[in-house]
Amino acid sequence: MTELLIEFLPVAMFLCLFALFLTGYQITFALMATGIIFGLIAVAVGALDIGVFAGIPENIWGQVMMNDTLLAIPFFTLMGLILERCGLAEDLLETIAKLFGPIRGGLAYAVILVGSILAATTGIVAASVMAMGLIALPIMLRYGYDRELSTGTIAASGTLAQIVPPSLVLIVLADQLGRSVGDMYMGAMLPSLLLIGLYCGYIFITSLISPEKLPPAQNSFSPSLQHRQIVIASLPIFLLLFYGAFLLFSPEKAVLFSITDTSYDQLIIWIFVLIGLIAIPLFYNLKGQKELSDILRHLMATIIPPVILIFLVLGTIFQGLATPTEAGAAGAIGALILAICKKRLSFSLLKEALEKTAKLSTFVMFILIGARIFTLTFYHLEGHELIESLFGHIPGGAIGFLIIVNIMIFLLAFFLDFFELVFILVPLLAPIATKLGIDLVWFGVILGLNLQTSFLTPPFGFSLFFLRSVTPDKDYTDKITGQIIGKITTTQIYKGVLPYIVIQLIMVALVIAFPELTYIDTAQELDMSLIDKQLPILPPLTDPVTRLF
């Protein structure tokens, strides 16, 4: 009888946890209480020793407090919050929408581009979606963009923050999978760029099939200048920035001058890029086109600071100059400097940002503490073996496992936030994945993409709530044109994100099919002869003093 009870305890734990979750009790306490109450029951029936509980403080100390990886969470959050408060999103949207607007579908491209830049800087989904819903949506509606397309694009682009490095999801996943955050960022880089490309491709195809959904906007820069002129003049700026980005992410390509140290080569190229950037508006100024020069300067003033911040943070991580944690802290200080330069820094801004950061990191870390206490008992009751035997019999090997796990997480993500999912489920799934020969970075990127999709899925997707909270639910009069613009219905938002969910699922399938996308080395065997060569031959010790030690 007792043995049956002990066998049943891990199952009961999960059921009990799920029941507590559904009552809406605080998740961290639900986890903690299930772990401890069931631990006490197990002690009472003699399945566990009371000494198991002594592992709790050890665990919190070693896994949670001393955790260097998760230390990045407050820093990246602080950086994002400061950038959000100093109006980065608003500035970017205004400028880029002006630049892209007159192209067919331009406003949609602008939303995707701004969404990606915000994702790589602020990394806060709520902030991106709300800012774009407040600023870009009225402009899109004014020019008669399709409602479903506009809302869908905004929700999807805002959600990019979940997967584009430096995202918190990837940090948490890296921590739980036991891989370095740098690897995880590197792995997510190409898939997220592809994802942005697919979004743009969707807009492009729509503009070919039904151009009436994406009418071009008016040129709003200046009446005397043609839009084409501005675009051509600003093209070199973008090219230079792309070149800079290319250099940063593939440092070995920077050997142009073959000076011994690559970093000096890069420095020289960077100086050239900067001189080029400054020279462009100067050139037009000297040519007598003062207006164009002013527009270009304004454009650069809005685009370049966040781009530099991205380079500073991601570049230092990829080049190994700083750990992701330190890069996050440097990014936060960079954001602070940016806010000072924009003259938007105040004590209350900093205080609010710090308070919000402290609260967010507290709730994340406390879910982890709860999950640790839960898994401690769960492991001692050998629940992980139960799960392993459950998942070990999935047909289809690694691919079958990935498909089943993804479907499961996709469904669970309707109810659970990604922190809970990652902290509770991933430690259970990671050993099985390793046994099946799945690279954990690959696994992490797939999970990240999947969790990002859950932000978009009706009816509980967070992005949809964020967008709904800022879209007009009554007909309103446009301030500039004076025409009456209809309200946005929730159904329109739901229909709008559907194509993007399909794109997301295609992307998940692509990454499962082509693991190379995540930069993992599938086969890199050690060349023993090379290692032998690198060992220096040490001179024999002659000095009597050194010989003594």
Interacting residues toward other proteins by CB under 8 A: 20-30, 32-33, 35-37, 40, 53-54, 56-58, 60-61, 64-68, 71, 74-75, 78, 316, 321-322, 325-330, 332-333, 350-351, 354-355, 357-359, 361-363, 365-367, 373, 415-417, 419-420, 460
Would you state the structure tokens that stand for residue 51, as one six-digit string? 């000494």
By C-beta, is 194 or 333 nearer to other proteins?
Answer: 333
By C-beta, is 349 or 394 nearer to other proteins?
Answer: 349
Residue 448 CA from chain centroid, whole number: 8
Q: What are phi and psi of 302, to 5 degrees?
A: -85, -40
Residue 545 CA from chain centroid, whole number: 56
Q: To the nearest whole angstrom, how small is the minimum distance from the Cβ of residue 357 to other proteins?
A: 6
Q: To the nearest whole angstrom, how small is the minimum distance from the Cβ of residue 53 to other proteins?
A: 5
3-class DSSP state of 388: helix
Taking alpha carbons only, the member of 471, 377, 330 closest to residue 10 is 377
Between CA 46 and CA 463, with CA 424 as vertex, the angle to 5 degrees is: 155
By C-beta, is 138 or 251 nearer to other proteins?
Answer: 251
3-class DSSP state of 477: strand
By C-beta, is 67 or 180 nearer to other proteins?
Answer: 67
Residue 457 CA neighbour count, 13 Å, CB half: 18
Q: To the nearest whole angstrom, how small is the minimum distance from the Cβ of residue 29 to other proteins?
A: 5
Residue 202 CA neighbour count, 13 Å, CB half: 24
Question: Do 367 and 422 form a contact (C-beta atoms < 8 A)?
Answer: no
Q: To the nearest whole angstrom, how small is the minimum distance from the Cβ of residue 336 to other proteins?
A: 9
By C-beta, is 74 or 101 nearer to other proteins?
Answer: 74
Torsion 315-317-323-326 (CA) sign: positive
Cα distance between residue 273 and residue 43, in whole Å? 67
Cα distance between residue 257 and residue 254, in whole Å? 8
Q: To the nearest whole angstrom, how small is the minimum distance from the Cβ of residue 77 to other proteins?
A: 10
By C-beta, is 145 or 366 nearer to other proteins?
Answer: 366
- What 8-state DSSP symbol labels residue 50? G
Q: To the nearest whole angstrom, how small is the minimum distance from the Cβ of residue 25 to other proteins?
A: 5
By C-beta, is 23 or 477 nearer to other proteins?
Answer: 23
Torsion 221-224-227-229 (CA) sign: negative
Q: To the nearest whole angstrom, how small is the minimum distance from the Cβ of residue 90 to other proteins?
A: 25
